[in-house]
Chain A
Amino acid sequence: MTDSKYFTTTKKGEIFELKAELNSDKKEKKKEAVKKVIASMTVGKDVSALFPDVVNCMQTDNLELKKLVYLYLMNYAKSQPDMAIMAVNTFVKDCEDPNPLIRALAVRTMGCIRVDKITEYLCEPLRKCLKDEDPYVRKTAAVCVAKLHDINAQLVEDQGFLDTLKDLISDSNPMVVANAVAALSEIAESHPSSNLLDLNPQSINKLLTALNECTEWGQIFILDCLANYTPKDDREAQSICERVTPRLSHANSAVVLSAVKVLMKFMEMLSKDLDYYGTLLKKLAPPLVTLLSAEPELQYVALRNINLIVQKRPEVLKHEMKVFFVKYNDPIYVKLEKLDIMIRLASQANIAQVLAELKEYATEVDVDFVRKAVRAIGRCAIKVEQSAERCVSTLLDLIQTKVNYVVQEAIVVIKDIFRKYPNKYESVIATLCENLDSLDEPEARAAMIWIVGEYAERIDNADELLESFLEGFHDESAQVQLQLLTAIVKLFLKKPTETQELVQQVLSLATQDSDNPDLRDRGYIYWRLLSTDPVAAKEVVLAEKPLISEETDLIEPTLLDELICCIGTLASVYHKPPSAFVEGGRGVVHKSLPPRTASSESTESPETAPAGAPPGEQLDTVPTQGDLLGDLLNLDLGPPVSGPPLATSAVQMGAVDLLGGGLDSLIGAPSFVAPPAAAVPANLGAPMGSGLSDLFDLTSGVGTLSGSYVAPKAVWLPAMKAKGLEISGTFTRQAGSISMDLQLTNKALQVMTDFAIQFNRNSFGLAPAAPLQVHAPLSPTQTVEISLPLSTAGSVMKTEPLNSLQVAVKNNIDVFYFSTLYPLHILFVEDGKMDRQMFLATWKDIPNENEAQFQIRDCPLNAEAVSSRLQSSSIFTVARRNVEGQDMLYQSLKLTNGIWVLAELRIQPGNPSFTLSLKCRAPEVSQHVYQAYETILKN
């Protein structure tokens, strides 16, 4: 007798027949009938009409029948909530059954019936079952708390189930512990603030003990939970690591990867000099290699994780290059991932081996894979300098094969090699030029055109070559058109006599016949540059380009740290933070690696804020400006990239490099008129203003006594936005000189050098009075404090808001932009005291519509204190009167650009709110003066 016959009954009277059978007296018949119902339910037939009849079968001693009925209930209770109430009594009764199987079954099923009315009845039985003598019932009840929490969180909290659940963590049965941990973790994730999983050394110890006893699935729960714990010092971290390490040899890959996550995270706290650190590193490699022996899907997951680990700690797998060699029968997605890891592991020691492999791959059949392999050769050349020559000769060999797509990829990567090692391999240009005609892909054409333009002086027939491209100008893709435009302009600047006609032709094609705004804009810029100042044009267009960086497409360090905390999860497969793909608030708690803390200083060091934690206030940088500028001035080799962390930065580099060059020359020759940042529409900074002023209002540092008030340093440029460079800073004014106090922190993996800074034109002509002096290269994790003197002699352009300042900072990696607001009081000059007569006359002279009134609330100071405090920030009290018990202060101040501001401050004794009236010929400053008052008085 088989169940399959249940599927075959499709007659019309089926429901009736079933109904009859369900109400039969014979147990066997009933059971068969319920089975039929379940079978119909599974294939999607609607059997909800049988609800009352099925529920009637519920009261039975036959466990099999009971289970079937419960199965039915779970499916249909939601659609028939009123009927579901009928079942409640049986549930409650079953929860008291002597058979633990039935008790557990009842609790489990009740939790799955997502009907509000039932949840009320669930509480009492659940409370009993949480304390049941049988562990099977207890673990089911623990899970049930999570279910109930999902339906009605308030109820769970009111009933105190969470506390009971916490007690279960110390249960004697590991299965119960594991489920309690899982339930608590999930509940805690939906309430990030609640301190549910209060991990402390004691509870950690319990978990570690349970770890040895429970099943592999329980181990995963517990390890994931451990990973969220931050040990208090390196000793504790080490002892946890020691107890987790045996999990690495577990047969279940999920356990292994969870253990790797815990170790990778806690290793962050261990000092690299420790012997134990080295031991741990050695222990990590074999299990990771073992993961690669699984099926392709599992391999892929493992490889994505290894890719992260290799970026964080390349030393773990540095001797294991061979395991990443591609097998011919690997699926393509595994091959590509292996290729990526091979390059990350490539070093001088193993480069010969890697290159030999890559060359083999480049002759395989699969086109996509071959392309990647050719690119990989280029990446090797850029990464390992010693190998560059061999890479280039390998690429030339590949070009000789004349296989179309191989040649094109090779040309694209050779262009990058030229960028990295200028004036070394240009001898191959001739060979490249031979293949000009076979290039049909935009990227390869663009790369070739770039090469021709860049080395125009060495290629005799450069003009002919470029001209040949120009014939089909309008059929080319935008990338090629932009490239062609730049290349011809370069050619013209190098050989002006022969190519005048050509450049005019391309400029008119770009500006008049094209409907691509980028192309037109770039055309116009070049045109004007060439027509007004050819020398400047030469400086801009032929400026020396910064070298491209060694590691391309590294995951940006802060994201990498977050992903390391997510090893083994979907986030590590997608290489995206969980917040990017998990709905709602669930599990979106930002995770960060623990800071390195030595045990000796742990007691007295208050600064243990997580190093990788994102700053509280997110200040926007101005990424669009970078792209815009890159577009205007330069030869980007790729569509504008809107800056996702995973984008190949080789392209991004390309997009801003000329600007970098421009910046260099700017600093070298300050007389140059138009700083590149001036091309930025001034109001781009506007949306950031409010956020920033909030920040200043919130700050509560103590101002220096002499000199005007100094706000505490705020983060202006978070590391995430600037490839690892974090800039925080503030403005000060002391003894008549303004300075910008900067703190530069290197959170990237490489050394930073060649810092330079440039301001955009701004309302008060603020400009650096000296170059940015960073004396030594900034090594990773190092921080340097710099005070940059500012002058107000720079060029003036009104900004919106008035006090916003757009700053470009350059280092060897890239150029970064950010915008900040400076407090106006740094501009108050020391000789801003007006004499009384003058004050009176001026006050009358300024029309009344220029008067602005503000309230300063919650300021507990009296008139004397106010007056002296303001005076230290160069707001001078000219006169003081007492009118009807109120103190009236008449004050004056002068801005660096000579604008006078007059103020009347009314202070009522006992009332903490002051009234401030400001009069000024330039009324737009009033708002900012008021803010300065607020800032000075409240700090």
Chain B
Amino acid sequence: MISQFFILSSKGDPLIYKDFRGDSGGRDVAELFYRKLTGLPGDESPVGMHHDDRHFIHIRHSGLYLVATTSENISPFSLLALLSRLGTLLGDYCGSPGEATISRNVALVYELLDEALDYGYVQPPSTEGVRNFIQAEAVVSKPFSLFDLSSVGLFGAETQQSKVAPSSAASRQVLSSRSDQSQKNEVFLDVVERLSVLIASNGSLLKVDVQGEIRLKSFLPSGSEMRIGFSEEFCVGKSELRGYGPGIRVDEVAFHSSVFLDEFESHRILRLQPPQGELTVMRYQLSDDLPSPLPFRLFPSVQWDRGSGRLQVYLKLRCDLPPKSQALNVRLHLPLPRGVVSLSQELSSPEQKAELGEGAFRWDLPRVQGGSQLSGLFQMDVPGLPGPPGQGPSASAPLGLGPASLSFELPRHTCSGLQVSFLRLTFRPCGKANPHKWVRHLSHSDAYVIRI
């Protein structure tokens, strides 16, 4: 069971400290944790850090460290899940949890902790479950205004570049004060997919998988029933393809416990009564068979003159998205052999950028339209590189070049083809305007690797 819980700022200052077992070394433990974490070598996992009999499990959440310690043989999964749940909970109650928010709301945080953990036993810390027991009111930095909605982004998607600005929806607390009920009339539903692809140097596809999740943030009162519909050809499992045609298929699905599946088999409708706050409605994954072509193809060619140490890389990037779609923040990262001294480039359009840094070069393409093709020619000098013997130009790549990896975001696109066709609220809260419903789709790269 959990012995202690603390929240540290990004600099290691303790913001919240709670001891459940009375068996601990007090606050020094927080310091000890921070020292251990900062001194951790790269090839060791931060999961099982321990000092004598004390084991640390932590996550980073909005720049804070949420840390639990235990001296027993306990499931690290449940602790990690708990910590991220606590992070969400803090967000639901206090708005975006940051150092300032936490120190403004110490009493509230302690109250939440008391409900979520008793004697180190995890109590169900759902936003709704805890709500009745909480007395203190959150002190929010700035009042929520409707104007913020103009810049609504994705709240759940932490993309690799973290370039999606946190929206106002994300930083707003779900539970505003009890008196003021009028604003709570919105539902956000995000379908976010992460795409991992591995392409061999001969262009054949070695591995592709899609991890998707549907996240819901509801400001409606708890228990409001809603229905999420998918297109009918959506099916689960390897054998279950219906009829001909492309079909939308996923391999594995897991649902949140508030989801009722009675209409899922027949009509592909999820009925759910979500508690207020944020939750993952559905998680799914798909591997190997994508219904649509991969978003990007890279055609590299490498010329390497060992004698002069000149390395020439020509990259052609083709975007196979439908012409109306586009990819944003595309970045190609190509590790280079050690000792590259200079880079010269010829790029196919002016908005692109390429630069050299830390043993690799980056090629940035802020926006790539579907169906377009971009290219770049890069020349480098690599003196004194070991490699296969032989003189003169050769087409084989020197050691240390590649693999290329791409990162990107595809707004309004899901790689699995899964689309939410409707989101209906079963009943309308009386006396109020129709709730705002926001449904968004997004894919982004997780590891999109092309070997050279």
Contact = CB atoms under 8 A, between A and B. Distances in A.
Are A and B genuine complex partners?
yes
Contact of B135 (A42, A64, A333): A64
Interface in A536-569: 566, 568-569
Interface in B20-61: 20-22, 27, 42-48, 50, 53, 55, 59
Given A2-B139, A251-B280, A327 B446 contact: yes
Given A7-B103, A147-B119, A403-B386, A569 B73 contact: yes
A220 B257 contact: no
Interface residues of B, number: 87
Contact of A327 (B121, B251, B256, B447): B447
A251 B75 contact: no
A481 B75 CA distance: 46
A797 interface: no
A293 B206 CA distance: 18
Interface in B227-263: 251-257
A854 interface: no
A363 B48 CA distance: 30
Given A108-B114, A218-B124, A300-B45, A4 B73 contact: no
B382 to A, nearest CB: 14
B44 A4 contact: no
B285 A290 contact: yes
A627 interface: no
Contacts of B133: 101
A3 B254 contact: no
Interface in A549-597: 566, 568-571, 573-574, 578, 581-583, 586-587
B449 A39 contact: no
A360 interface: yes
Contact of A332 (B20, B42, B400): B42
Interface residues of A, number: 94
Given A44-B27, A143-B118, A325-B207, A570 B139 contact: no
Contacts of B100: 4
Interface string A347-389: 0000000001000100111001000000000000000000000
Interface in B246-293: 251-257, 280, 283, 285, 287-288
A726 B405 CA distance: 52
Contact of A249 (B53, B55, B253): B253
Interface string B132-163: 11011001000000000000000000000000
Contact of B81 (A252, A286, A401): A252
A360 B76 contact: no
A150 B1 CA distance: 13
B75 A569 contact: yes
Nearest to A362: B399
Given A44-B27, A251-B254, A571 B75 contact: no
Given A39-B106, A297-B59, A328 B447 contact: yes
B107 interface: yes
Interface string B106-133: 1100110010001101111010010011
Contact of B76 (A7, A35, A301): A301
A833 interface: no
A112 B42 CA distance: 39
Nearest to B73: A578
Nearest to A6: B106
Contact of A68 (B73, B107, B399): B107
Given A251-B255, A325-B206, A327-B449, A568 B77 contact: yes
24 contacts: A3-B103, A42-B16, A64-B135, A67-B114, A112-B20, A147-B119, A216-B124, A250-B257, A251-B283, A289-B285, A297-B80, A300-B47, A301-B77, A322-B288, A327-B196, A327-B447, A329-B447, A336-B43, A364-B335, A568-B78, A569-B74, A569-B76, A573-B45, A573-B48
Interface of A: 1-4, 7, 35, 38-39, 42-44, 63-64, 67-68, 71, 78, 101, 108, 111-112, 114, 139-140, 143-144, 146-147, 150, 175, 179, 182-183, 186, 215-218, 220-221, 224, 249-254, 257-258, 286-287, 289-290, 293, 297-298, 300-302, 322-323, 325, 327-334, 336, 356, 360, 363-365, 368, 400-403, 566, 568-571, 573-574, 578, 581-583, 586-587
Leading 10 A-B pairs by shortest Cβ distance: A254-B78, A64-B135, A327-B447, A254-B77, A215-B124, A293-B211, A583-B53, A578-B73, A333-B45, A217-B122
